[in-house]
Structure 1
């Protein structure tokens, strides 16, 4: 589904990503781990279109997307969430989901005059889909709550909900477990598994090793802007290069 080939991203003289190559198979949950500063978020941002690659290529479903704008990549079915949730704070949780779908008829003012029935029907369809998504995420009780009043874990679930409103094929999850209490973390993990069973593919950055080892296969390990290795949980857990990277050794040793 996703093919990254010899990808590089420079900021001045700094190589944040250096010749990274990997492929994601459809309907997998792939983990991306590595110490702070390894280049994981820069890799996410480059795949999602926030940054243009300095070198290399990115293909999604066989189509080159390297250098496309984030909204064009989004419309192709590749969606990302953020480590720090970014809801519209003064809008309700329901409204945060309803604003996501593209090409809404009501966004063009003349449709509200000449195609009122079509606008109303589409808005009702989006409303129903948002309510179903909130039910799936166990967020029904906060449907009409302002997003700024939610806990960190609830906001992470809203991030996932907004991603789902785009009918994604691949979701990039940026630290879905960060700052989340254990009960909500278990809920997030359950929802990811259920969505995976429904055919959605995931690539996630996460520092919670228990979550990664129990949820992800394969696991990609980055260090110093490079892809250090790829393997299953047992392979990654016992590889001396991974231990060196996390404990301060050089990945080249």
Structure 2
């Protein structure tokens, strides 16, 4: 589903990503881990179109997407969430969900005069879909609250809900467990598993190692902007290069990565 080939991103003289290559199969939950400053979020931003790569290729379902604008990548079914949730704070949860789908008839103001029936029909369909997504994420009781009044964990669920409103095929999850209390974290993990069972593919950055080891297969490990290794949870746990990277050693990156 996703192929990254020799990807590089430089900021001045800093190589934030340095020759990263990997492939993701459809309907997997792939983990992306590494110490702070490893280049994980820069990799996400480059895949999602926030940054144009300095070099390399990114293919989604066989189509080159490197350098495309984020909204064009979004419309192809590749959607990302953020470590710090970014809802519209003064809009309700319902409004945050309903605003996501692109090309709504009501976005053109004249259609509200000349095609009110079509606008109302779409609004009802979007309302029903948003309510279904909220119910799935256990957000029904806060549906009419402003997003700024939600807890951090609830805002993380709204982030996932907004991604679901776009009917994604691949979701890039940026630290969904960060700052979330244990009960909500368990709920987020359950929802990811259910969505995976429905056929959605995930690439997930996370520092909670228990979550990664129990949820993800395979796991990608980055250090110093490069891909250190790829393997199962058991392989990652026992790899000396991974231990060195997390404990402050200088990891030896293989030529293949």
Asked if Structure 1 and Structure 2 have the same fold, meaning a TM-score greater than 0.5 normalized by the shorter chain, the answer is yes
1-structure distance, mates of 2:102, 2:248: 45
Q: How does 1:212-223 map to 2 (within 5 A)?
A: 212-223=212-223
1-structure distance, mates of 2:147, 2:56: 39
2-structure distance, mates of 1:153, 1:216: 21
Query: TM-score if structure 1 supplies the norm length?
Result: 0.99
Following superposition, the deviation at residue 114 of structure 1 comes to: 1.0
Following superposition, the deviation at residue 110 of structure 1 comes to: 1.3
Q: How does 1:87-236 map to 2 (within 5 A)?
A: 87-236=87-236
Match of 1:32 in 2: 32
Query: TM-score if structure 2 supplies the norm length?
Result: 0.98
Following superposition, the deviation at residue 132 of structure 1 comes to: 0.3
> Displaced runs of 4+ in structure 1, greater than 3 A?
none
1-structure distance, mates of 2:17, 2:172: 17
CA offsets, 1:148-201, max 9 Å, x none?
Answer: 000000000000000000000000000000000000000000000000000000
Match of 1:59 in 2: 59
Following superposition, the deviation at residue 109 of structure 1 comes to: 1.0
Say which SS state the counterpart of residue 10 (structure 2) adopts.
strand
Q: Number of matched residues?
A: 253
Match of 1:46 in 2: 46
2-structure distance, mates of 1:125, 1:195: 21
Unaligned runs of 5+ in 1: none
Match of 2:82 in 1: 82
Match of 1:251 in 2: 251
Say which SS state the counterpart of residue 91 (structure 2) adopts.
coil
Say which SS state the counterpart of residue 91 (structure 1) adopts.
coil
Following superposition, the deviation at residue 251 of structure 1 comes to: 1.1
CA offsets, 1:92-123, max 9 Å, x none?
Answer: 00000000000000000111111110010001
1-structure distance, mates of 2:247, 2:74: 37
Following superposition, the deviation at residue 10 of structure 1 comes to: 0.2
1-structure distance, mates of 2:83, 2:37: 15
RMSD in angstroms over aligned alpha carbons? Answer: 0.6
